[in-house]
Structures are given as structure tokens and as C-alpha cells.
Amino acid sequence: PLLYQVATASLSPESISAPIRAALTKAKNCQIVLDEVVDIDVERRRVVVSEGSVPYDYLVLAVGARHDYFGNDKWEPLAPGLKTLEDATEIRRRMLLAFESAEHEADEATRHAALTFAVVGAGPTGVELAGAIKSIASNTLPREYRNIDTRTARVILLEGGKRVLEGFPERLSKRAHKDLEALGVEVRLNSLVTSVDDGGVKVGEEYIPAANVFWAAGVKGSPLLRSLDTPLDRAGRAIVEPDLSVPGHPEVFVLGDAASFIAEGAERPLPGVAQVAMQMGSYAAKVIKEEVEAGSSTTRSKPFTYWDKGSMAIIGKNRAVAAIGSYRFSGFFAWLLWAGVHIAFLVGFRNRTRVLFNWLVAWLLNSHDSRLIIGDNRLHVREPRGPGFERHLPPAVETQPSVS
């Protein structure tokens, strides 16, 4: 849930994650293998990896999801999404390089494009990402650049639907829309992206020059799920039974974003959010534990039931929305709730204290201190200007004085 804070230089990757081996140090019955799973042989009950295969009695697939470009996969390198730490550091690299390029760009049109950020999709990820980019441009960076005013950075949030945060109550959706515009984010509803290239994004017939396009518009299941030979939904997620197993194979569980689970009486599958995955994990663990202790598989009389503890999204400093049961919160109190919940569920005491301290400093000083550019740091400057970009003049030709 805090990936976007790494993407916008608010937190470092190690602050929001932990090594699996460290997290499972006390679980002496756990073996951890770093390898790539390439296939699932459900008939022989084996997980096929790049270096061999691993047998199983029970299999839990929690492989998550990836971004869905709706048949336009060629857009992926041009408009990265946000699902992994690698995605987050790549978005951070592109965002910070955009300001560096603009600092040394003399061509006005190219400079404006460098300072234009288009975020596609106005779900929680898109809203949080757009708000954070505008916040860092307006509050943190202005004092650090000499040739540009980073406060003029243009952040455009593109949503194909009728409102932002469509999964939230309408009143909170309207409040989030209002808060985004108060930050300076341009919110465009009913705006479908028809094309993305290395110069910008096309919305309908309008072309928007933007050096950075970030994707938060949809998800699809991992290609690995196809090897289960089980029904998948339109998003490529495995359609699971009431006990979260795949049809015909009660020993195989699919959880989290990889699962398509429609609760009794519901019309849509459960959303791909952290609390769904956490509750699914607890349920599957309990079922496996009970059956292993019993020595045999028993009829699973208790299906998985989901307890919706509420939804939250942060828009910016002191700005958030939260829906918890019948209660609706917005503004500073919702922001405090959001911060408290996210700190509580981080892995490890050190991470909790580190994030709490970083947020406190950021709140007081409007600072984003994790601004490391990792990877390719070449600037894309059309007409260079400023120190370091002076044109090299040919060496002066020495002349001999004439002799009379």
C-alpha cells in the first residue's frame, strides 16, 4: 500500500518491506527458495521452477497481479505501473529526471512536456500518486532548482469513468476530487486514453505532450494462473470456490489479487486490496492447519467470509478520505486514521519507527528525502542550457609575430 510513497521519494524501499528470511526467522519449519516458478503441474502436484520442480501436498498461490493495458502491451515501457518495488524506483527515477531535464532545457515546449505528468486511472493508486507528485513539486523542490519553478509542474489525472475513487461512497469521491483540484491536480473524467508514445498521451482526439505517463488504470492476473487449467475471469484471475480453492483441486488455494472471489449475494469480485489478501491468507492457513492436524482432508463446511473493515485513500498532506462501516471521514482526521493503520501493519518494529519518524519530519518540513536516482541517469535535453552545457569552442590558433 505504500509503494507510491517510494515512487514519489517520500520513503525508501527498505522502509516499507522486509526480507522474507528475516520475517520468517522464528518459523523453523519454513524453507525459502529463490527461483522462478514457470509452471504448475496440478495432476502430479508439482511446482515447476527454472532449476527443477518441488512436490506439494497443499499449494498456496499468492502471485499477485500486474497492470492491464487492455490489449496495448506496447504501452508498458512508456507508461509504467506500480505493483512492485522495482516499479516504484523506476517511477521515482523518471519523475526526478524530469525535473533535472527541465532545469537544463532551453526549448520551452520540451521543458513544459518534461514538467507534465499524466497519471492514468483514478483509483486509490492513481489518486495517491497524482497528489504526491504535485505535493513534492509544489512544496519540496522549488527551493532546490535555479532555472525552473517546479510549482508550475502540471499533473493530469485521467479517469475513464464518471468519478474518482469509484469504489468509495459518492460523497467521499466528491471530496477527494475537490482536494485534488485544491492541490493543483487537473482531474479529467470520462477521459479514455487512446494512445501512448514517448512524447505524451492521446485522450480521444487530444494529444497531451507529457514526458512522463504513469499507469494505474487496471490489473490482470499473473500468466502463471493459466497453467492451473481452471476458469479465469476477464482480468485473468482464477475463479475460486467458496473455500478459495480451484475447482476440482481442493489442495490448491489461490489468494489475494490472483483470485476472483464473488461473495454470496455480491455482484462483483472482492477488490484487490491488502485487507482482502490478509484475510484470505489467514483463512487458508487455518484450513490447512486443521486438515494436517486431523491427518486427512475433511469437508470444509465453513466457506471464506470477508469482513470489510473499510476503505481509505490519501490525497496529500492532511487530506484523506475514509469509509469505515457506516461512518465517513475526510480531512485531517481521515489522514491520521490512514497513517495509523498503515504504520500498524508494516512488517517489523524498525520499519514502523522509521516510517513514523520520516512522516513526522516530512509533515513538519515538507521534505521528501529519499530522492535517489537509481539506474540510467541520462538527461533528455533538446536544447541544453546552463552550467555544464556550454558549447565547446575550438582551441585558439596561435599566430607567430611577423618578422620585418
Active-site residue, 128 included: yes
Q: Where does residue 321 fall: left (phi above 0), alpha (psi -120 to 50 degrees), or beta otherwise?
A: beta
C-alpha cell at 25: 526467522
Q: Active-site residue among 90, 105, 128, 159?
A: 128
283, HSE (Cβ side, Cα atoms, 13 Å): 22
**CA gap 341, 157 in Å, rounded:** 26
Task: Indicate which residues carry an active-site annotation.
Answer: 128
